[in-house]
Amino acid sequence: MNSKLEILILAAGKGTRMRSDLPKVLHKLAGKPLLGHVVDTAHALGAAQTCVVYGFGGEAVPQAMADDKLTFVLQAEQHGTGHAVKQALPKLADDSVTLVLYGDVPLTHVSTLEPLVTAARAGKLGLLTVTLAHPDGYGRIVRENGSVTRIVEHKDASPAERAIQEVNTGILAVATRHLRQWIDTLKNDNAQGEYYLTDIIALGVRDGVTVETHQPAFEWEVLGVNSKAQLAELERIHQNEIAQALLNEGVTLYDPARLDVRGALTCGRDVVIDVNCVFEGRVELGDGVQVGANCVLRNVTVAAGTRIDAFTLIDDARIGEANRLGPFSRIRPGTTLARDVHVGNFVEIKNSQIDDGSKVNHLSYVGDTTMGKRVNIGAGTITCNYDGAYKHRTIIEDEVFVGSDTQLIAPVTVGKGATLGAGTTLSKDAPAGELTLSRAKQLTVSGWVRPVKQKKEN
Ligand code: UD1
Ligand code: CA
């Protein structure tokens, strides 16, 4: 049977170059903390335990990750990667294998890590290396007759060693039992006065453990984030990966370079997405959905055949089939739109349910409203849902016609088939089937003369 996998995520570093009070691993990539990406990878690998070594920023890291089933270990002072691993060793089981990951290296594919775990389970030391055109700063992989013998840190390396282009990514897997033995004997007699995790390679070789190296399919899988520039670079790489996956599923993206997915976007067949759209949280787009340019959708489901025109913002809502929204619509939390609903430009809808075939096409605010089928709301209509202390509901039954520039002072009900005349301020219920209006009678003053400015004499 396979020995169980335990994953150690090193995340104690300060990240000085981020120039931020937020611990580095909590900076967000695609809307999720860097550490969150690594934790997801750990879960995907089926880790029996995932242990996070944290330090800088104190409890901010455990607090931010509180939802996950993680073990946290404090490394109060950072004395190197070997020292970091040592803090976590008491939490790890002797009969497991340990995979070491880094909280600031977010984009490593699961398939890149699996061979390392397999090597560790076979009693070897699995080491992820990468060959770089510019290896400056990294630990170098020293080989003799093709076999790895040790890693030398850049600061400790001779000119000949600095010419080596194969570098250490830091990611490795090995039997926990071995790790414990070697970590205990690490010394800090090096250029940085640190306990180097990398020194275990030479100790492994001394103990007859085979070092098996693997390389990632893409160099960016092992890139870490040390600055905002690197964070922005990885964000684009990650967004491009997401865009390519959507294209492969058959989604039309007018420009895959101008798409941002910060969460999970699932699309049906023949979905079309114009440029500069942002999708946050869980967004589901049904078959044939079209999203115009510059839309933001956050935690939204959109059913088949709906068209969302440019500059529309939808937040926490359920949008039914064959709707037309936008341009410039704002749909706020708690809204449900049924079938064939039209919401037009400069219309705000909040916490409302709108039934089949109803239309709110121009310049309106509909809040805390239950609206029936085939209702027509005229331009400039406003539900006055807030009395300064409480919110009240407006009920508009089927087939109501609301004239333009109407205010509905909630709580109020408009009965089935009623018509409200333009300009009405409705403060009492309107009966079904009747015309209700509140409007001063129109009158004409005949012979009235408009004032004229007198010319000054001289
Ligand atoms: C390390 C490796 C180097 C490798 C490079 C890849 C060592 C000694 N060197 O170097 O061979 O090429 O990564 O990027 O391992 N950390 C802690 N506690 C500590 C020190 C570090 O949690 O006391 C964490 C950091 O937050 C960071 C990671 O470990 O996520 C790497 O630390 P860093 O100081 O960046 O290591 P490097 O010197 O870059
Ligand atoms: Ca580093």
Per-residue pLDDT of the chain (458 residues; tens, 9 = 90+): 789 999 999 999 888 999 999 999 999 999 999 999 999 999 999 999 999 999 988 899 999 998 668 999 999 999 999 999 999 999 999 999 999 999 999 999 999 999 999 999 999 999 999 999 999 999 999 999 999 999 999 999 999 999 999 999 999 999 999 999 999 999 999 999 999 999 999 999 999 999 999 999 999 999 999 999 999 999 999 999 999 999 999 999 999 999 999 999 999 999 999 999 999 999 999 999 999 999 999 999 999 999 999 999 999 999 999 999 999 999 999 999 999 999 999 999 999 999 999 999 999 999 999 999 999 999 999 999 999 999 999 999 999 999 999 999 999 999 999 999 999 999 999 999 999 999 899 999 999 999 999 988 76
Q: How far is the CA of 104 from the centre of ligand 2 (A)?
A: 9
CATH 2.160.10.10 residue spans of the chain: 228-436
Would you state the structure tokens that stand for residue 394, as one six-digit string?
């407006």
Probe residue for ligand 1, chosen from 81, 162, 183 as the CB with the greatest number of ligand atoms within 8 Å: 81
Q: Is the dihedral of CA 30, 230, 82, 143 positive or negative?
A: positive
Q: How far is the CA of 82 from the centre of ligand 2 (A)?
A: 14
Q: How far is the CA of 5 from the centre of ligand 1 (A)?
A: 22
Ligand 1 atom nearest to 104, measured from its CA = 30
Determine whether the shortest distance from the Cβ of 138 to ligand 1 is under 6 A.
Answer: yes
Q: How far is the CA of 332 from the centre of ligand 2 (A)?
A: 42
Q: How far is the CA of 304 from the centre of ligand 1 (A)?
A: 49
Determine whether the shortest distance from the Cβ of 140 to ligand 1 is under 6 A.
Answer: no
Burial (CB count <10 Å: 0-12, 13-18, 19+), residue 356: middle
Ligand 1 atom nearest to 138, measured from its CA = 12
Determine whether the shortest distance from the Cβ of 351 to ligand 1 is under 6 A.
Answer: no
Using left for φ > 0, alpha for ψ between -120 and 50, and beta otherwise, residue 256 falls in: alpha
Determine whether the shortest distance from the Cβ of 168 to ligand 1 is under 6 A.
Answer: yes
Asked if 238 is an active-site residue, the reply is: no
* CA within 13 Å, CB half, 295: 26
CATH 3.90.550.10 residue spans of the chain: 5-222
DSSP 25: G
Q: How far is the CA of 15 from the centre of ligand 2 (A)?
A: 9
Q: 5-222, which class in CATH?
A: alpha beta
Would you state the structure tokens that stand for residue 302, as one six-digit string?
């959109």
Would you state the structure tokens that stand for residue 198, as one six-digit string?
């990398």
For residue 32, what are the CA distances in angstroms to 7, 36, 197? 20, 6, 28
Please state the length of the chain: 458
From 2, 208, 180, 197, select the one nearest 94 (Cα to Cα): 180
Active-site residue identified among 43, 154, 362, 392: 362
Ligand 1 atom nearest to 13, measured from its CA = 26
- Rounded to whole angstroms, the Cα distance separating 363 from 349 reads 11
Ligand 1 atom nearest to 196, measured from its CA = 8
Nearest residue (by CA) to ligand 1, atom 37, is 138
For residue 271, what are the CA distances in angstroms to 286, 294, 309? 7, 16, 14
* Fold that domain 228-436 belongs to in CATH: UDP N-Acetylglucosamine Acyltransferase; domain 1 (2.160.10)
Ligand 1 atom nearest to 75, measured from its CA = 18
Nearest residue (by CA) to ligand 1, atom 32, is 81
